[in-house]
Amino acid sequence: MNREEVLEKLTEIFREVFDDEEIVINDATVAGDIEGWDSLMHITLIGTVEDEFDMKFAMKDVVGMKNVGEMVSLILEGMDS
List all residues 6 or more positions away from 74 whose beta carbon is below 8 Å from its beta carbon: 57, 61, 65
Q: Which pLDDT belongs to residue 75?
A: 95
Which pLDDT belongs to residue 81?
67
CA atoms lying within 13 Å on the CB side of residue 34: 28
The pLDDT of residue 63 is above 80? yes
pTM, rounded to two decimals: 0.92
Question: What's the rounded mean pLDDT across residues 62-70?
Answer: 93
- What is the CATH code of the structural domain delimited by 3-80? 1.10.1200.10
Write the DSSP assignment of 2-36 as a string of letters. -HHHHHHHHHHHHHHHTT-TT----TT--GGGSTT
- CA pair distance 37, 45, nearest whole angstrom: 9
pLDDT in tens, 26-55: 999 999 999 999 989 999 999 999 999 999
**Does position 79 have pLDDT exceeding 90, yes or no?**
no
